[in-house]
Structure 1
């Protein structure tokens, strides 16, 4: 058997110099003579790769001089969790010469190590650790769903307020992983996990309410109890009912019905966020599994938000100058009869439906909805139609509006998308109320299309490659909103592959320090595009074109950003490839790097 030890340095020389550097099988190893012992560690500081031979040793502690990470020299354990432990190596003295075995003393599979570091990164909100974990776990062949599961369960257990924006971003990006290139899948997990950690930082954990001991409670009663407790804003009572429903074995459709019935008892909760969170929580369970434990914690994280949400009928915009809330209640009073009338009918959306939903007369909007239900429109069909109308508001948003008004049309679109997604899980009649809520907001958003931004011309002879190049250039400049929409449209007009467009939009998103709403906009637009892609002739339908135009315009309005998070990701990827970060060849800014884990 070949000797695993490599000759390093004469012992007397090491004693005199105190330290030495060697390479063994491609590994840079730092040797130290300290307190009468020879110690060997990996020369690359596990934090950001600084050579540890340029550090200092005192009382058995090795300190890196770049960010002052400290390590117990004999075993490599760090005093600073943001730094990670440094590998140590066995040494021998033979005839006055130091020999080193480059096999680490403590060795574990990369997947095991980085699973643990992912937990550390979430617990202590360490962005660089999360970036390294996202990259390393993918490189180790770990299913991305496992990292998503870790993030989802952490976020639902360690944030007293329950489901929030961070978890929504994580699930939204996880939904779009198949659209992305390999490196962007790593970026997506890094962004999502970092957002979860940020949401939970300095927050108290969530303390659970217990399920009832009662069993064989009819679903109808559980549903009634849940709605009543949410109605009176009793989050604790509502949580106990929900956990009892899970324990009773209610299936996905029933649990969704339970939630959406309470979420639509009042109008447009929290400008749509409450329902969008509800949708993302159920999508999270699609990704990590609808088993009892997962469903129990994930769905319970929604209850506080539902109970405490602001209710739109309490706002003047829903009451003056037209009492839209009262109009909704009138329609809801007829809802059962409308559904019964449409029973067995097959609905085809009229060609002018979007125009009617965009009407400046609310009576026209309500009549369009009621007529559709009477003619047999399912919740899913009608929600899809309203979602397109909401997306077109974004596609035609006038840049003459205040910048913050982008969020107004955005909220309507993502809310409508969430209702549409919920309708794929349950056909509960109550969910029509969510469709009405979305349509009312499409009506309220009408002034943000006054005048409407011009629709991109149809250019069947456009060069997709050039259109895509110009689109990406738009994201490098401020204010190129209309141009971005036109280039996205012309890419599709010219026969460009939609898969490529979604991937490039995702890449553009993930290199930015994007905000919550921009992640939502991308994911909802891609989902709605997939839903309506084929017009029956193998081409991109006009409705599908509209929603990607909307995404491109929204993204262009919010780009470029400082891209600090992309720098952190780049540092992590380079470290894991063994590249050098310090020195003259590095283009990174040390001041930014030094705060990467703050």
Structure 2
């Protein structure tokens, strides 16, 4: 019964009973409130431990500290502040004692908007690498109507500032997943952001922060000179000097096209840096800015500067035996690059149409045939973007036909070629520099080097047009539930598409499988690149090849322990107000790995 002159307060318990028992539980407007009598004072807190929902009335109060007995989270009883950042603060409520009765208000003392609270907790989770906090933040922020773009922005800013070695695989995963959010349903979007944020936090955990170099005071330097300076500093592996040049280019007001040209030119001065990762990182950093905006000069400079150390220290493929023996592929590249200006000039005004046998020529066993195909295409007017798209499809075909008799690690060999080619194509959408032809050639050389991994080629399924699409998706799920069901997964994808299944539904299904597993770096990349390549194609057979490639790669790496999904499930249930300690008759959830 509410007090007439203070309608916000509700009757809870007789003071004498509370003094005798030390604690009591009440519920006001659906909020469970624990009341404690301690050191002569009445205190009220939300009964659900903010860590994992355990009832705090079953905890212990000593010397003003309330301790939850499940994971030993501790709270200052009067204000609710936690001693343990992984637990979050607990809400406290005003109380009044009137005529021997305790009344409590269901309005917490701190009334912070959910979005503001979860922004703060996201920062805590990133700083301290707390998975459950990151999961709660992803669920809470999107549930509060915060745009995914803002969540990605906070993750990217944190990642580039808190890792001295710069751009990382975690940031690449975050951006790759952000690119594919439109493919996913609402809950999987939360899962995807949680997965990406977890990877960023893990990459930065225990690492020294990045200390920035400054831009030159002279910002009126011509772009061609900045480009020459940047390439020279990367060439001699001077990351600090290269960073100053890059920050100067940003300060001078150069936009996405020129800044991308600066980076990709240096990234293709040598062959296939770090098995393609260096270029893919360049692409993902620029895609991050596409997502969150190039308008903030400080953010743009920080994001792009995070790439410099990786470019300067990257391993160069022409220094490896596979690029020199038994065929000197690096020398063949140099010869083509020497002719590049003439080839491009010859193609001016020409309209290139991809020949029907172009993929087969790129998959040839003779490197001369591969180089002839590339040079002929450039001479015929093929732009970087369309030529890169053709090479990307050849690389996707290598994955779709990967022979499982090979060593398991060789999945990554064909994967690296595919994601590298995809990154070159994506970069070509942003800048028209002819330097990117060198990236196309590098990708094609790797398609050639990967030829033995298709020996014998795995049969590429065409699918059964009489199949039931729902059954095909069920077969795909079953394939991901068992180890090594690579061909079953490929067949299910082909059946689904042949039977008229919606590719958008298939991408969502693959995205769900991706987001519930303890997915590794390369599998995230494989899914994103395959979906993007599928989207870019009009030919149903080519779209099928790309998605078959993704399904085969994923099936080769699944299932996993799904420990991250366990943590995400706990977070989602907690924010729905459910108990996860088993007290409501359900099986108790395993403790989250913090």
Q: Same fold (TM over 0.5)?
A: yes
What do residues 48-85 of structure 1 show as CA deviations (whole Å, max 9, x unaligned)? Answer: 01111111111111111111111000000001000000
Alignment of 1:236 onto 2:240? yes
Measure the CA separation in 1 of the matches of 2:226 and 2:588: 57
Measure the CA separation in 1 of the matches of 2:529 and 2:214: 35
Paired position in structure 2 for 1:572? 571
Q: Which runs of 5+ in 1 are unaligned?
A: 536-540
Task: Tell me, yes or no, if the aligned pair for 2:135 and 2:194 is still in contact at 8 Å.
Answer: yes
Paired position in structure 1 for 2:200? 196
TM-score normalised by L of structure 1 = 0.97
Equivalence map 1:45-444=2 (5 Å) = 45-291=49-295, 292-444=297-449
What do residues 417-457 of structure 1 show as CA deviations (whole Å, max 9, x unaligned)? Answer: 00000011111111000000000000000000000000103
Cα deviation for residue 248 of structure 1 reads 0.6
Cα deviation for residue 460 of structure 1 reads 2.6
Measure the CA separation in 2 of the matches of 1:387 and 1:294: 31
Cα deviation for residue 293 of structure 1 reads 1.7
Paired position in structure 1 for 2:552? 553
Which SS does the other structure have where 1:67 is aligned?
coil
What do residues 192-242 of structure 1 show as CA deviations (whole Å, max 9, x unaligned)? Answer: 000000000000000000000012111100000000000000000000000
Task: Tell me, yes or no, if the aligned pair for 2:97 and 2:103 is still in contact at 8 Å.
Answer: yes
Measure the CA separation in 2 of the matches of 1:223 and 1:460: 54
Cα deviation for residue 588 of structure 1 reads 4.1
Cα deviation for residue 462 of structure 1 reads 2.5
Measure the CA separation in 1 of the matches of 2:17 and 2:345: 92
Measure the CA separation in 1 of the matches of 2:432 and 2:383: 8
Aligned partner of 1:485 among 490, 512, 519: 490
Measure the CA separation in 2 of the matches of 1:280 and 1:528: 16
Task: Tell me, yes or no, if the aligned pair for 2:582 and 2:588 is still in contact at 8 Å.
Answer: no
What do residues 251-288 of structure 1 show as CA deviations (whole Å, max 9, x unaligned)? Answer: 11101100000000000000000000000000000111
Alignment of 1:6 onto 2:10? yes
Cα deviation for residue 494 of structure 1 reads 1.1
Cα deviation for residue 34 of structure 1 reads 0.5
Paired position in structure 2 for 1:538? none
What do residues 290-319 of structure 1 show as CA deviations (whole Å, max 9, x unaligned)? Answer: 021221100000000000000000000000
Cα deviation for residue 482 of structure 1 reads 1.0
Which SS does the other structure have where 1:8 is aligned?
strand
What do residues 75-122 of structure 1 show as CA deviations (whole Å, max 9, x unaligned)? Answer: 000010000000000000110010000100111110010000000000
Q: Which runs of 5+ in 2 are unaligned?
A: none
Measure the CA separation in 1 of the matches of 2:6 and 2:385: 68
Task: Tell me, yes or no, if the aligned pair for 2:581 and 2:589 is still in contact at 8 Å.
Answer: no
Equivalence map 1:513-592=2 (5 Å) = 513-532=518-537, 534-535=538-539, 541-583=540-582, 585-590=585-590
Paired position in structure 1 for 2:465? 460
Task: Tell me, yes or no, if the aligned pair for 2:580 and 2:589 is still in contact at 8 Å.
Answer: no
Measure the CA separation in 2 of the matches of 1:596 and 1:311: 39
Measure the CA separation in 2 of the matches of 1:491 and 1:583: 39
What do residues 380-419 of structure 1 show as CA deviations (whole Å, max 9, x unaligned)? Answer: 0100000000000000000100100000000000000000
**Stretches of 4+ aligned residues off by more than 3 angstroms:** none
Measure the CA separation in 1 of the matches of 2:435 and 2:284: 19
Alignment of 1:41 onto 2:45? yes
Measure the CA separation in 2 of the matches of 1:28 and 1:297: 46
Measure the CA separation in 1 of the matches of 2:127 and 2:586: 30
Measure the CA separation in 2 of the matches of 1:470 and 1:2: 61
Q: Number of aligned pairs? A: 588
Measure the CA separation in 2 of the matches of 1:215 and 1:497: 52
Between stretches 287-296 and 225-234, larger displacement belongs to 287-296
Measure the CA separation in 2 of the matches of 1:320 and 1:421: 31
Cα deviation for residue 471 of structure 1 reads 1.0
